[in-house]
Amino acid sequence: MAADGSGAWFPYPAQAADEGSPLLFCLHHGGGGASAFRDWQRLLGPGVEIVPVQLPGREGRLAEPAERSITALTERLTGPLLERAGERPYAFFGHSMGALLAYDLSHALSAAGKPPAHLAVSGYVPPHARPATSVHTLSEEAFLAHVTGLEGTPAAILENPTLLELVLPVLRDDFAACETYAYVERGPLDVPIAVFAGESDPSAPAALTARWADLTAAGASVDVFPGGHFYLQDRLPELLQALRTRLALFPVASQDGGGTP
C-alpha cells in the first residue's frame, strides 16, 4: 500500500466560515478531478465545508499512476479521510465512479467507527445490480466513441490529439477500477442514501439506480433530473438544492437567498 499524505487527496484549503461545520467529501467521476467541485462552496455558502477529493493520475497528481482498483483506493483513502474529518460530522457525494468509491468508503469508515452521516450517490447503478461491462477493454476507436457518447468530455479535449493522449489512459484506468469491482455482501449500511440521476442516462437507468435502497437500513431517497449522465453540469443549482433537502448536514437556505445558487 502506498504511503499517502492527506494534502495530496485534499488539494483545496478549507473555505467554510465555521471550522466546526460539517464536511461534504466530494468524489469525482471517472476521468475527472477535484476541480469538478470548484464552485460548490461558493454556491452553497457557509454552514457546510466542501472537500473535493483528488484521486491520483490527474490534475495536481498527474505524475502519479491512476489506481485501477476501487478497493485499493478505499484502502489508501480511509486513513486520510479519518484524519481530515477528525471529530466533525461528514457526508459523501460521489458522481459515477465517485458514487461507487463513496459506497465502498462508507463501509470502510463505518467499520472504523466513523460512519458518514449521509451517502449521496449520483449517476451510478448500485454494485449489486450493475450489469457486467468491459468498456475498459475496448479498442481505442470504440473506447473513444463510448466516452464521446457520455457527453462529459469537453470538445476542446476530444478535438486535441495531445490532450486525448493524456486523458484517455486515465479514463480507461477508471473504467477498469469500476468494472473489476467485486461486490461483496456485507449487510446494509446504517447510513441513509440519497440517490440522484439523469432521466435519460443510458448507463444508470432510474429503475436500477433506485435499487440503492437495497443497500441501506436507514432509508433512501431518489431524485431524477432532466438530462443524461452528466445532468449535473446543466442542473447544478437544482442538484445542490436537493442536496440541502436530502442531507440533514446542510443548513436551510435563508429567506434573503444567502447561499442559494
Look at residue 79 and tell me whether its pLDDT is greater than 90: yes
The pLDDT score that the predictor gives to residue 17 is 60
d(CA 86, CA 94): 21
The pLDDT score that the predictor gives to residue 251 is 43
Look at residue 255 and tell me whether its pLDDT is greater than 50: no
d(CA 202, CA 49): 32
Confidence band of 172 (pLDDT split at 50, 70, 90)? very high
Over the Cα atoms of the chain, what is R_g?
17
* Per-residue 3-state assignment (H helix, E strand, C coil) for the chain: CCCCCHHHHCCCCCCCCCCCCCEEEEECCCCCCHHHHCCHHHHHCCCCEEEEECCCCCHHHCCCCCCCCHHHHHHHHHHHHHHHHCCCCEEEEEECHHHHHHHHHHHHHHHCCCCCCEEEEECCCCCCCCCCCCHHHCCHHHHHHHHHHCCCCCHHHHCCHHHHHHHHHHHHHHHHHHHCCCCCCCCCECCCEEEEEECCCCCCCHHHHHHHHHHECCCEEEEEECCCCCHHHCCHHHHHHHHHHHCCCCCCCCCCCCCCC
Residues 6+ apart with CB under 8 A from 238: 225
Sheet strands side by side (includes 118-122): 49-53, 23-27, 90-95, 118-122, 193-198, 220-225
The answer to whether the predicted template modeling score (pTM) of the entire model surpasses 0.85 is yes
Q: What is the pLDDT of residues 36-76, one digit of tens each?
A: 999 999 888 878 899 999 999 999 999 999 999 999 999 99
Look at residue 261 and tell me whether its pLDDT is greater than 50: no
The pLDDT score that the predictor gives to residue 163 is 80
d(CA 41, CA 22): 13
Look at residue 184 and tell me whether its pLDDT is greater than 60: yes
- With a pLDDT cut of 70, the percent of the chain lying above it is 90
Look at residue 252 and tell me whether its pLDDT is greater than 50: no
Q: What is the pLDDT of residues 11-28, one digit of tens each?
A: 998 776 677 789 999 999
Residue of 6, 35, 69, 96 with catalytic role: 96
Look at residue 196 and tell me whether its pLDDT is greater than 90: yes
The pLDDT score that the predictor gives to residue 248 is 67
Confirm whether 200 is a catalytic residue. no
The pLDDT score that the predictor gives to residue 7 is 81
The pLDDT score that the predictor gives to residue 253 is 36
Residue position matching grid coordinates 461528514: 90
Better pLDDT: 160 or 128: 128
Mean pLDDT of 153-162: 75
The pLDDT score that the predictor gives to residue 257 is 33
Mean pLDDT of the chain: 88
Confidence band of 161 (pLDDT split at 50, 70, 90)? confident
Mean pLDDT of 236-246: 92
Look at residue 190 and tell me whether its pLDDT is greater than 70: yes
Better pLDDT: 165 or 178: 178
The pLDDT score that the predictor gives to residue 160 is 77
